[in-house]
Structure 1
Amino acid sequence: MMNISNTFIWILCLGIAILFWLILYFRDQTFKDIKPYWKWLMISLRSLATAILLYLILAPLFKSVFTEVKKPLIVIAQDNSQSILRNWPKDKQARYLADKTALETELSKTFEVLPLTFGEKPDEQQAIDFSERATDISAAFDYIQNQTAGQNLGAIILASDGNYNQGRNPLYSNPSLSVPIYAVTLGDSTIKRDVSIQRVLHNSIVYLGDQFEIQADLKAYRCEGEKLNLQLYRVDNNQEVLLKKETIDVKESDWYHSQKFVIDASRAGTIRYIVKVSPLSNEYSIENNNRDFFIDVLDARQKVLILAAGPHPDLAALKKILEGNKNYQIETKLLPGEIQNIQSYSMVVFHQLPSKTVDITPILNELNKTQKPRLFIVGGLSDIPRFNAAQTLLKIAGDTRNMNEVTGEVRESFSLFTVDPAWKEFLRNFPPVSAPFGEYQASPGANILMTQKIGNIITNYPLCMIGEDQGSRTAIFAAEGIWKWRYFNFEENKNFDMVDDLVRRVVQYIGIKEDKRKFRVYTQLKVYLENQPIVFDAQLFNESYEPVNTEDVFITITSADRKDYQFTFSKTERAYTLDAGLFAPGSYQYTASVNTKVGKQEVKGQFVVQRIQLETYQSTADHNLLRLMATQQGGVTVSPDQVSTLAEIINQNKTVKPVQYSSQRTYPIVNFKWLFALLTGLLCLEWFLRRYHGAY
C-alpha cells in the first residue's frame, strides 16, 4: 500500500503511460491522415486511463481530513427542591422562570444549551415545580461530568439556595469540573427567629429489654433567653405516648445543643418515635420542630437451659460465656428435678447427662418434636451407653471409670466457621480436660472441630464436634473441665476472649434457626422512605422443597386507619414479585396468602413508610456556599433579578469559546466507485474516437 500524497509515484505512472502510448500511436500509420489534435486527444485519454490502472495496482490509500467546530456547551442546573419556595412570592417566581427561559433562548444563539433539574437526583426531563424532597448538589455535578465527557463544556449555571441535605459537600465533590460556575442565588438568606431539630442519632436495631440512647441535635437562631421544651414520644396505634421531656435554656443568638435520652426497649417490632420541640412565639417555621424516626426492636433473645447431673465448675463457666451474648437468656437446673415447658427454651445444654441416675429420654423426645438444638458435654458422671443411645453422632466404646487427660488439636478440614489461627496455637498450651477412656467412632456426617491429643499423640478421637442428629443441630464436647481453659486464658491474657469466643461460635452455629416454611414473603426493606416503592418477593415450595409458582399469590396491605389495599403477585421464573408502588407515610400490616393442595397458607408482616423532612430543616439559604463555588471556579454570583445578564457575562468570557476538532481518515482508493466509472468512460471515449477514425 502507498500514500496518495506521494505524488512522485503518480507522476511516474503517468509518465510511463504517456511514453508508452506516444510510441504506439506514432508508430501506427492508421492515424497519419487525421488532424493532430485528435491523435493527441486519444493519446491523452489512453495515457490517463493506463496511469490510473498502474496506480491502482499499487493499492494506494486516500487520506481525508475532516474539521468540526463544536460550540461551547452551557449547562443550566436548576434546583427543584421544596426549600426554594420558602418565602418566595409567586410573582417573583413567575418573573424568574420567564427570565430563565429567555436566558436559554439567548444562549442557544451562540452555545449549545443543556437544561436540567436536580433535587433527589438530576433529571433532564422533569418540569420545574419545586417538589423534590431532598437536595443533592454533588449528584448534579457528577451527572454533568458523566453526560458531558468528551464535549466542549463551557460553563455551568447553578440556580440554587445553596442548601444540600444529601450527598457530598459540593465545594469539594468534583474537582475535575474545571469550568466556570455562575451561581444564581435563590431563596432567602436572612437569618430568622427559628428553632429546628437538625438531626437525631440512634441505633437502627436494639434488643427487647435493653436500654438505648437517642441524641437530638438542636439549632436555634435569634432565640436567646428562651426556654425550649423538648419531648420524646413513642407512637402506639397512632397514639403518641410521652416517654421523656426536658427543658433547655437557649443562651446565644446562634445556638447549638445536643440532648440525650436513655429509654427502655419495652416493645418488639418496628417502633416509631417522635422528637418534638415546642414552638416559640413569632417563630419562622414550625415544620422543622419535630423529627420522627424508626427503630427495629428485636425479640431475638434465645432461652438456653443448662441441665446438669450435679454441681460443677463448668456450669458457672458456661453461664458466664453464654451471658456474654446479650441475645441469650441462661437458666441452670440440676437433675433429677422438675422441668416445666421444655419447649419454651431455644436450646438445651446437657452437662454429664444422661447419667447413671438420670435418664433424659423423655426430655429428648419432647425436644425432638420441634428439633431443638442441643449440646452434650461428656464427663465423669455420664452414662456412656445412655449417651450413645441419646444421639447418633458419636459412639464411645468405654466407660467413665477411667478418664484420659487430653488437650485439643484443631482439625484443619473444619469449615463450618472460621477458627482464628492464633487460637490454634494457643490451644496447644491449654491445661488438659478429662475425657472418658475408650474407642471413639464419629458419624461420617459429623464435622470435627477438635480431636483429642493424649500426651504428645494426636488421635482421631473427637473432642469437639458438630452435626445434625435426626433433624436437630447437635454439638458434643467429649470432656469436662472447660472451666480450666477459661481460667488459663485469663492467666495468660487477662481476659477470657479466646475461650469464650470459640464456645459462643459453637453454640451460635447450632442455634441458627433453619427456615422450613413452604411459603415465604419478604419486603426488601422494613422502613421505606415515602419516595421509595414498596417491593415484595415471595417463594412457594412443594412437599420436596422444590420452588414452584403454579398457584396465584395474593396480598392485602392494611394501613393504620384500617384501609385495605389488595394486590396479586407477578410470577417470575420460579418465584413471585410485586411492586406495590408508593404509600403515604405511616405503619402498614400485610397478609399474603396462597391456596395449595395442603390448604391455605398465610404470611403476615409489617413495614413502615417514613416521611422525608429534609427540606424543612434549614430555614436560611446558604448563599455563601454558592459564592465560594463560583469564586473557586472563576465564575460570578447573580441574584434572580440579574439572570438575564448572564448571557452577556458568559459571552465576554474568553475561556468559553468554540473548539475545532480535526480528524483524519484513511481509505483504500479502490473504495471510490466513481474512479472505475471514470476509467471506463476514458477507455470508452478513446475506443469511440479510434472507431470514428477508422481504427479497431
Structure 2
Amino acid sequence: MENISFTYPLWYLLLCGLAGLVVALLLYYRSAITASRPLLWGMAALRFLGYTLLAVLLLAPLLRFLQTDRQEPIIVLAQDVSESVGLETDTTAYRAEWAALREALARDHRVVHYTFGSTVREEDELSFSDKQTNLDAVLSEIADLYGNQNLGAVVLATDGIYNQGPNPAYRDLPLRAPVYTVGLGDTTRRRDLYINRVFHNRIAYLEDKFVIQVDLSARNAAGERTALTVSRVGEAGTSVLHTESLTIDGPDFFTTREVVLDADRAGVQRYRIAVSTIGQEVTTANNQRDIFVDVLDGRQSILLLAAAPHPDLGALRQALVSGRNNEVEIAYGNKFDGRLSDYDLVVLHHLPSAVQRVSRQLEELRAGNIPTLFITGPDLPAPLVNAAQELLQLSGGGAQVQGNEVTARLAPGFSAFTLSEELRQALPTYPPLSAPFGEFRVGPGANPVLLQRIGRVDTEYPLLVVGESRGRRTGVLAASGLWQWRLYDYLEYGNHARFDELVSQLAQFLTVQEDKRRFRVSVAENIFDENEPVILDGELYNTSYELVNDPEARVVITGPEDREYNYTFTRTANAYALNAGTLPVGNYRYRATAAHNGEELVSEGRFSVQAVEVERYALEADHGLLRQLSERYGGSLLFPGQLAALADFLAQSEAVKPVLYQTVTTRSVLNVKWIFFLLFGLFVAEWGLRRWSGGY
C-alpha cells in the first residue's frame, strides 16, 4: 500500500497547475505553427503536464508505503551427548528416531540443531562421549541467540544429569517459547556402590602430609562389606598406600573418609582411590577414581649466620618457618664450618664485623652466587660493610659513634614484590630500629624498599634495599632490632601476620632464581583434564636475550608405554605456541628442540593428563528436573517413542506460526526512477511533435 504526502499545503498544487497552464499558453496561444488545432492542443497539453509535474516535484512530495516481512518460526533441537546418556540408552534406535524428528520438522519450519555436554556446539553427530554435562549452558545459548526471534519451540533431549554449571530450574531465562523435554536414561534406583566425590589439593610440598577426602555412596546394598584402598600408580607399577574395611549399614548409604598421605616423591603423582565390588552392581566403572597431585620440591634452606646471639635471630627464624617449607638454621661467625652452597639464602646478622670479618664465608657466597641478606648494626665498620656488597654505601658509623633511632616508611614507587595494604599501613607505626649514624648512598642496581624516618623528619636515606650485587640477589637492612617489630605486631593486632609477611616476601624475592635458558618451553598447567587440549608455549632468545622465532621448533611428547607424539610449534608474533589436542590419561614428558646459529637448544619438562569420569558416577536419570523445566516454560515431558507425535503436534500448534512484521517506509518521490522517464517522455514527445509540424 502506497500513498503520497506533501510537506506543503495541498492547495499549492493549484499553483503548480496554474504555472503549467501559463507556460503552455505563452507558447501555444496565437502560435505561428501551421498545424491542425488538435495537434496544437495535444502539444500544449504535453507542455502543461510536463511543467505542472516539474512544479509539483519542487514541492518535495514524499512517497510512503507499507512493507511486510515474514519470519518463519524456529525450532531448536538440543541433544545431550554425554557419556551417561550413551550408557543408559539404546543409542542405535534413538539416533534413528531423533533423525526422523528433525526431518519431519524441517519440512515446515526452520530447524536449528545443537549437541551439548562439556560444550555447546552446532553439529549433527551424536557421539555420546562428552565427559561432562552443562544443562544451563545450552539453555543460555538458546536464550541469547533466539530469545528475541520467532522461536516456536525448544526440544531438549537429556537424562537430567548435570555436573557443570548452575541448576537451570532456578534460572530466569528469556525463553518465550515452550520447552519440550525428552527424558532419556533410567530412573530406576539400582544396586550400586560408587565413589561420589574426591576432594584433594592439586599441589603438595615434598615431605609434607596432605589429605584426600573421599565421599562414598551406596544404594540397595545394606549389610554388604567393601574395602577402600588408596594406591600410587607409577611407571614401576601400583603400590598400595592405605586400606580400610567398610560396612554398608543402610539402603541409602553415605560416608566420608579422610586419608592422610605423605608427599614423599617430587613431581606429578597419580593416586587411585578404589572400593571393592559388592556384586550385582549396575556398573563397576564408578568404583575407582584416579587423581593427580603435583608434589613440589619447594623447600628452602636458610642459614642465619650471626656475630653473636641476638633477639633478632629468634624473630627471623619464627617468621621464616611460618612458611611450611623453610628449613632455618642458626650459626655463629667464624665458628661455622659448613658449606654455604647447601643453603638457598644466607642472612648475615651484624657481619662482617671488626672481630669477625668472615672473609672465607663472604668469598664462598660470591663464588656460589648465593642470595644474601645483610643486617647491619649501629657499630659495624662502614668500610667492611661497603666492601661486602654494592647496593648500599655508608660513610661514617663505627663503634665510637652513637647510632640513630629510625622508623620505617615505604619507599614511593616500590614494586619489586607485593606488600599487603595491612602491612603498608602498619610499617610507619612499628617501633624504631637502631641504624648507623652517617651518610647513606644507594648503589647501582639497588631498589629501595623502606626509607628512614629520623624523629619526625622523613629522609631519603634507605633503610632496606634489594637488588642484584655482583651477580647474585642481595638485600641490605641498615638497622637492627627487628624483634621489636614482631612483638609490637602481636601486641597491636593479636598475631604476627604482618611481620611474617614482610620477612617471607623478602626471603622469597631473594631466593627466586632467574631463568637464564635461551630456549624455554612451558605448559599452561601441570595437570590437564582428558577433555581439554594440552597447550605448550615456547620462547627462544638470541645471544643478546632478544626474542626471536626464525628457527623451526619441534617437540616430542612421550606418554604411557613410551608412545611418542611429534609436533612442530606454530610461530606467533615473536614466540612459539602449540595446541597438542587432547591426550590419553597418564603421565607425560616432553623434549623440545630448536637450532639457532648452529647451536641446538633443548627444553624439557613434564605434565599429566587426568581422567574425567563424573559421567560414570551418577547414572540415575533426573526426570523430575526435566518435568520442572517443561512446566515452567509451557511445554511437556516426553519419552523416546513419542517423538513422531511431537512433530505432528508442533505442526498444528498455534505457537509455531510465522510472524509478519510491517514497516512503514518513507522516501522522496525524486528517488523514483519512473518519474524521471515520465518527464523525459513528455518533453521529448512535445519536442518531436513541434519538429514534425515545422516548429523549432
Letter in 1 for 2:376: V
Give the distance between the partners of 2:96 and 2:163, measured in 1 at CA: 28
Which residue is equivalent to 1:474?
A: 474
TM-score norm. by structure 2 comes to: 0.93
Which residue is equivalent to 1:450?
A: 450
SS at match of 1:561: helix
SS at match of 2:261: strand
Which residue is equivalent to 2:133?
A: 135
Which piece of structure 1 moves more, 398-407 or 592-601? 592-601
Give the distance between the partners of 2:118 and 2:431, measured in 1 at CA: 62
Instruction: Deviation per CA, 1:259-304: give whole Å up to 9, x if none.
Output: 2112111111111111111111100001111111111111111111
Give the distance between the partners of 2:252 and 2:623, measured in 1 at CA: 18
8 A Cα contact 1:353 1:381, kept in partner: no
Does residue 182 (structure 1) correspond to residue 180 (structure 2)? The answer is yes
8 A Cα contact 2:379 2:397, kept in partner: no
8 A Cα contact 2:35 2:693, kept in partner: no
Equivalent runs, 1:229-244 vs 2, <5 Å: 229-237=227-235, 239-244=237-242
SS at match of 2:103: helix
8 A Cα contact 2:152 2:655, kept in partner: yes
Give the distance between the partners of 1:377 and 1:544, measured in 2 at CA: 35
Does residue 558 (structure 1) correspond to residue 547 (structure 2)? The answer is no
Given candidates 80, 96, 100, the residue that maps to 1:98 is 96
Which residue is equivalent to 1:670?
A: 670
Give the distance between the partners of 1:121 and 1:411, measured in 2 at CA: 49
Give the distance between the partners of 1:341 and 1:551, measured in 2 at CA: 43
Which residue is equivalent to 1:168?
A: 166
Distance 1:600-1:109 versus aligned 2 partners, 3 A rule: closer
Given candidates 331, 338, 341, the residue that maps to 2:339 is 341
Which residue is equivalent to 2:636?
A: 636
Shift in Å at residue 512 of structure 1?
A: 2.3
Give the distance between the partners of 1:183 and 1:569, measured in 2 at CA: 45
Give the distance between the partners of 2:644 and 2:538, measured in 1 at CA: 56
8 A Cα contact 1:223 1:250, kept in partner: yes
Instruction: Deviation per CA, 1:461-501: give whole Å up to 9, x if none.
Output: 32222222122221111122111222222223332223222
Give the distance between the partners of 2:692 and 2:432, measured in 1 at CA: 122
Distance 1:374-1:99 versus aligned 2 partners, 3 A rule: same
SS at match of 1:452: strand
Shift in Å at residue 549 of structure 1?
A: 2.7
SS at match of 1:689: helix
8 A Cα contact 1:400 1:436, kept in partner: no
Does residue 223 (structure 1) correspond to residue 221 (structure 2)? The answer is yes
8 A Cα contact 1:200 1:216, kept in partner: yes
Which residue is equivalent to 2:360?
A: 362
8 A Cα contact 1:71 1:110, kept in partner: no
Instruction: Deviation per CA, 1:582-610: give whole Å up to 9, x if none.
Output: 32211111122234458433222111122
Which residue is equivalent to 1:296?
A: 294
8 A Cα contact 1:406 1:434, kept in partner: yes
Which residue is equivalent to 1:49?
A: 50
Which residue is equivalent to 1:8?
A: 10
Equivalent runs, 1:22-171 vs 2, <5 Å: 23-24=25-26, 27-30=29-32, 34=36, 36=38, 38-89=39-90, 93-171=91-169
Does residue 307 (structure 1) correspond to residue 305 (structure 2)? The answer is yes
8 A Cα contact 1:464 1:476, kept in partner: yes
Equivalent runs, 1:147-546 vs 2, <5 Å: 147-173=145-171, 175-237=173-235, 239-379=237-377, 382-396=380-394, 397-416=396-415, 417-419=417-419, 423=423, 426-443=426-443, 445-546=445-546
Q: Percent identity?
A: 38
Instruction: Deviation per CA, 1:28-66: give whole Å up to 9, x if none.
Output: 345797354x45543443222222322333444433321
Ranges in structure 2 where 5+ consecutive residues have no aligned partner: none
Give the distance between the partners of 1:608 and 1:142, measured in 2 at CA: 33
Which piece of structure 1 moves more, 593-602 or 289-298? 593-602
SS at match of 2:233: strand
Give the distance between the partners of 1:294 and 1:96, measured in 2 at CA: 37
Ranges in structure 1 where 5+ consecutive residues have no aligned partner: none
Which residue is equivalent to 2:621?
A: 621
Which piece of structure 1 moves more, 100-109 or 201-210? 100-109
Shift in Å at residue 623 of structure 1?
A: 1.0
Give the distance between the partners of 2:523 and 2:539, measured in 1 at CA: 12
Shift in Å at residue 514 of structure 1?
A: 1.6
SS at match of 1:229: strand
Give the distance between the partners of 2:27 and 2:254, measured in 1 at CA: 106
Distance 1:119-1:425 versus aligned 2 partners, 3 A rule: closer
Which piece of structure 1 moves more, 642-651 or 614-623? 642-651
Letter in 2 for 1:262: V
Distance 1:398-1:664 versus aligned 2 partners, 3 A rule: same
Distance 1:338-1:597 versus aligned 2 partners, 3 A rule: farther
8 A Cα contact 2:140 2:173, kept in partner: no
Give the distance between the partners of 1:673 and 1:425, measured in 2 at CA: 78
SS at match of 1:192: coil
Shift in Å at residue 351 of structure 1?
A: 0.4
Instruction: Deviation per CA, 1:100-127: give whole Å up to 9, x if none.
Output: 3333333334432212222222222231
SS at match of 1:145: helix
Shift in Å at residue 665 of structure 1?
A: 3.0
Give the distance between the partners of 1:159 and 1:640, measured in 2 at CA: 9
SS at match of 1:171: helix
Distance 1:686-1:210 versus aligned 2 partners, 3 A rule: same
Equivalent runs, 1:592-611 vs 2, <5 Å: 592-597=592-597, 599-611=599-611
Give the distance between the partners of 2:228 and 2:12, measured in 1 at CA: 93
8 A Cα contact 1:152 1:659, kept in partner: yes
8 A Cα contact 2:333 2:356, kept in partner: yes
Instruction: Deviation per CA, 1:328-371: give whole Å up to 9, x if none.
Output: 21111112124333212111100011122322333233223343
Letter in 2 for 1:261: V
- The root-mean-square deviation of aligned C-alpha atoms, in Å, is 2.6
Shift in Å at residue 26 of structure 1?
A: 6.1
TM-score norm. by structure 1 comes to: 0.93
